[in-house]
Structure 1
Amino acid sequence: MTTTRPSPYRLAPNLFGIGFGTAGLAQAWSAAADTIGAPEWPSYVLWILAAVIWLVTLVAYLRNVIAQRRLGSEVPNPVTGPFTALAVIVPMLLGIGLAPHARTAGEVVCAVALVLTVLLGGWLTSLWIRSDTRLAQWHPGYFLPTVAGGLIASGCSAILGWNTLAHVMFGYGLICWFVLGSILLLRLFTQPALPTALVPTMAIEVAPPVVAGNAWFAINGGRLDLVAELLAGYAVLMVLVQIGLAGTYLRVPFGPGHWAFAFSYAAAFTNGVHWLAAEHVHGQRALTYLLLAVATLAFVALAARTVLGLVRRDFLPRVPADPAPAPSAPA
């Protein structure tokens, strides 16, 4: 009887960042279609690609954690646990991509994913409160379950016309950002540097103000007001911080963690598209296409490097080898 050989790779939940980033770029193209009448086919292709990537990742990830008996320890893990939220956040975005073509199906997908996101965010928050996690173990991925989950849920709800829910989820995500943002900046300012594999998570720092900005534009109909302007002010600071961190990022070996850049930066470009429309900037069309070109080329470069890593078999982390048994003492 043949036995299945266990996988030599350890699939971590940050792999869901690939589908997350793809959905983020799809959002940028969708925003451009709404504001300047850009072609819709790129967003259609990206939405379908994001759905396929999410499904393939989900199946591969679940098979891996079950085979390696990690199913019960994944969510409580202080390092990788926050990334598990992406498994339920991505379908919220997919529901928005589906809704223009199949309204009821899109609403159901979005609603189910929203409920799961809120439940997981609440459970993780209670876990962080009662567990003995050290400040040095925290990283910007802790934004994902409640801050990203809440603000994305707000924007999705507004797009679907669920206005009251959009406001509720905006408050949910915003307050969580204020609380967790303070903790995470304290960690980054005062504690030892992040482990090398987690350095790319600092790209997530730019996400809260731009994702909140995109959600607010969806809520208020794309108008500029005090809330949009305040969010933009902090977004400018975080973009400048990212530029300052470029040298640090370049020193990190390529791996799944680099997909933390994809959604965060795509959301920033999407916010830029909305701002160009709201301000009626001269040359809006050309500037919007410039933003899309930069975002798309960066995504292609990230995807190409990922494919190369998979071919070379150095993209996914391997399961640590068991230490060799100590030699027995001579008789």
Structure 2
Amino acid sequence: MNPRTSEPHVGITPNLFGIAYGLAGLAGCWGYAALLGFAPALVSDILCVLAAVVWLALLVSYVSQVPRRPGGWPAELADPVLGPFVSLIPIVGMLLSVGLMRHERTAGQWLFGVFAAGTVVLAAWMAGQWLSAGLDLDKLHPGYVLPAVAGGLIAAIGAALAGWSGPARVFFGLGAVSWLVIESMILARLYFRPPLPPQLRPTLAILAAPPALAGLAYLAVTRNRVDAVTFGLAGYTLLAALVQVRLVGGYRHLHFASGFWAFAFPYAAVATFTLHWVAYAHPPGYRIWAWIVVLAITAFVAALAAETTMALARHRFLPQLR
């Protein structure tokens, strides 16, 4: 990032909100399993509380630090590497609001509306920034799908759960069209330009999220209608998941860092969409298959949490800023 001071110091960067994002995604997976009757809702509630604590702790530290950095908020949002991750602040807020709706519907709806509006405004600001200042193609990475694509599709899911069918369709259009436009540019960069630097390679996992989120948003907006669109999104989600399997060899050579939390939410989204298909297809032993999916993603996120705890204890997790 931009120079901060003459001596390096520990700072909060926006990609760290990926921790709360991943925990909220896991909470959503357990919540969906509970909705289908596969798991208790209590686990989802506990994970939501944990995600909220992490999110609030990061938010307080981050908001207090940014004004003291050169350029303040405009420079933070314009950062070509970390700027898109700022959108995780309202996006996680939306996810937590959806969890709150299960217990305090009115309060959850109000909070969701605030965070959804913030998500759209921030996505528009960033898109305008990219148009006015231009983008360096070599600095483009999968995190650029977060503001409008992930933000729009998660807003569609939340609005549908809040009972706002019209806004849900609008948000779905925002996310789906942005996905087609933005991911095409990202894939062109990944296919035809040099590989991403090691610290950004975990962001390749983010590409697994849009088709799964689009599938979940479509189901939410259409009230669980299974048609050609649903099957098409399932097919692309399968392709995206298989691509991740091919990339495992490259991931294994990377040193663990905060960027590894980029894996958590996309894989949780794929797991959640998979639960829908387990429930829809009802294969023999479908409850066992559902539990395998839920426990597998839980074990994966737990492993990330354990690695993070050890890295924090060794003072090797939080980034050093200047």
- Where does residue 9 of structure 2 map in the other structure? 8
Question: Contact conserved, 1:36 with 1:285, CA < 8 A, in 2?
Answer: no
Distance 1:294 1:37, change over 3 A: closer
User: Per-residue deviation at 1:258?
Assistant: 0.5
Counterparts of residues 211-230 of structure 1 (less than 5 Å): 211-230=213-232
Output the CA distance in 2 between the equivalents of 1:7 and 1:111: 39
Question: Contact conserved, 2:38 with 2:290, CA < 8 A, in 1?
Answer: no
User: Per-residue deviation at 1:7?
Assistant: 7.7
- Where does residue 50 of structure 2 map in the other structure? 49
User: Per-residue deviation at 1:66?
Assistant: 3.1
Question: Contact conserved, 2:211 with 2:237, CA < 8 A, in 1?
Answer: yes
One-letter amino acid of the counterpart of residue 141, structure 2: H
- Where does residue 134 of structure 2 map in the other structure? 132
Question: Contact conserved, 1:200 with 1:260, CA < 8 A, in 2?
Answer: yes
User: Per-residue deviation at 1:131?
Assistant: 1.1
Percent sequence identity over aligned pairs: 44
Question: Contact conserved, 1:206 with 1:264, CA < 8 A, in 2?
Answer: yes
Question: Contact conserved, 1:24 with 1:266, CA < 8 A, in 2?
Answer: yes
- Where does residue 111 of structure 1 map in the other structure? 113
User: Per-residue deviation at 1:316?
Assistant: 1.3
Output the CA distance in 2 between the equivalents of 1:278 and 1:158: 20
- Where does residue 274 of structure 1 map in the other structure? 276
One-letter amino acid of the counterpart of residue 270, structure 1: T
One-letter amino acid of the counterpart of residue 134, structure 1: D
User: Per-residue deviation at 1:17?
Assistant: 0.4
Match of 2:152 among 143, 150, 154: 150
- Where does residue 247 of structure 2 map in the other structure? 245
1:198-233 deviation per Cα after TM superposition (whole angstroms, max 9, x unaligned): 110000000000011111121222232111111111
User: Per-residue deviation at 1:250?
Assistant: 1.2
Question: Contact conserved, 1:222 with 1:274, CA < 8 A, in 2?
Answer: no
Question: Contact conserved, 1:222 with 1:278, CA < 8 A, in 2?
Answer: no
One-letter amino acid of the counterpart of residue 9, structure 1: V
Output the CA distance in 1 between the equivalents of 2:289 and 2:38: 13
Question: Contact conserved, 2:38 with 2:287, CA < 8 A, in 1?
Answer: no
Residues 37-46 or 64-73, more deviating: 64-73
SS at match of 2:118: helix
Output the CA distance in 2 between the equivalents of 1:132 and 1:39: 48
Residues 130-139 or 22-31, more deviating: 130-139
Distance 1:40 1:7, change over 3 A: farther
SS at match of 1:74: helix
Match of 2:311 among 298, 309, 312: 309
- Where does residue 58 of structure 1 map in the other structure? 59
Output the CA distance in 2 between the equivalents of 1:151 and 1:164: 14
Question: Contact conserved, 1:138 with 1:187, CA < 8 A, in 2?
Answer: yes
User: Per-residue deviation at 1:63?
Assistant: 2.4
SS at match of 1:245: helix
Output the CA distance in 2 between the equivalents of 1:24 and 1:197: 23
Counterparts of residues 145-294 of structure 1 (less than 5 Å): 145-294=147-296
Distance 1:304 1:41, change over 3 A: same
Output the CA distance in 2 between the equivalents of 1:159 and 1:36: 17
Where relative contact order (Cα < 8 A, 6+ residues apart) is larger, the structure is 2
- Structure with the larger helix share: 2
One-letter amino acid of the counterpart of residue 8, structure 1: H
- Where does residue 4 of structure 2 map in the other structure? none
Question: Contact conserved, 2:206 with 2:263, CA < 8 A, in 1?
Answer: yes
Larger Rg: 1
User: Per-residue deviation at 1:37?
Assistant: 4.2
SS at match of 1:194: coil
One-letter amino acid of the counterpart of residue 205, structure 2: A
One-letter amino acid of the counterpart of residue 62, structure 1: V
1:62-89 deviation per Cα after TM superposition (whole angstroms, max 9, x unaligned): 2232344452311011111000000111
| Structure 2: gaps (5+ residues) | 1-6
Give TM-score, length-normalised by structure 1. 0.93
Output the CA distance in 2 between the equivalents of 1:22 and 1:40: 15
One-letter amino acid of the counterpart of residue 243, structure 2: V
